């Protein structure tokens, strides 16, 4: 089974819309096709974004709390690794690469160009659609 670190932006997109590759990725996780790995820092970022007033018309505080609790209780939760810098052009994204490397994730999933456009990243960075396509290939006989 693939071990996956998912950028909070993808998790936000999945929660705001039941359509599209981010939501499909979460459905794959809930169906047991992938393991999602999270850390307290990642969950805190997700919590902060989902509770922004600008998103209140799409997700209530209660819905946001339930979604975060779902991840906290059913994803693989690991401790935050020690901070490392210089992995990406955006220092705010460095923790995702560090987390993915520390837990030996098979892939990091993001829609952020600062991550998707990295040259030869370890682990590979895939968009949600690329991961869904990969899962479709793996499951074909």
Summarize pLDDT for 23-68 with one digit per residue, the tens.
999 999 999 999 999 999 999 999 999 999 999 999 999 999 999 9
Taking each helix axis from N to C end, the angle separating 61-74 and 40-50, rounded to the nearest 10 degrees, works out to 160
Q: What is the pTM of this model?
A: 0.94
What architecture is the 2-139 domain classified under in CATH?
A: 3-Layer(aba) Sandwich (3.40)
Per-residue pLDDT tens for 116-129?
A: 989 989 999 999 99
**Gyration radius from the chain CA atoms:** 14
pLDDT for residue 141 is more than 60: no
């Amino acid at each position: 089974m693939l071990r996956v670190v998912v950028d909070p932006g993808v998790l936000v997109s999945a929660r705001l819309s039941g359509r599209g590759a981010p939501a499909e990725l979460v459905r794959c996780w809930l169906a047991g096709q992938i393991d999602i790995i999270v850390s307290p820092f990642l969950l805190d970022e997700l919590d902060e974004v989902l509770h922004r007033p600008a998103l209140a018309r799409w997700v209530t505080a209660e819905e946001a709390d339930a979604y975060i609790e779902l991840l906290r209780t059913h994803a693989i939760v690991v401790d935050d690794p020690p901070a490392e810098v210089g992995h990406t052009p955006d220092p705010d994204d460095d923790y995702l690469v560090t987390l993915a490397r520390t837990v030996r994730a098979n892939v990091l999933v993001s829609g952020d160009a600062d991550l998707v456009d990295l040259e030869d990243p370890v682990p590979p960075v895939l968009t949600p659609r690329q991961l869904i396509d990969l899962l479709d290939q793996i499951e074909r006989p």
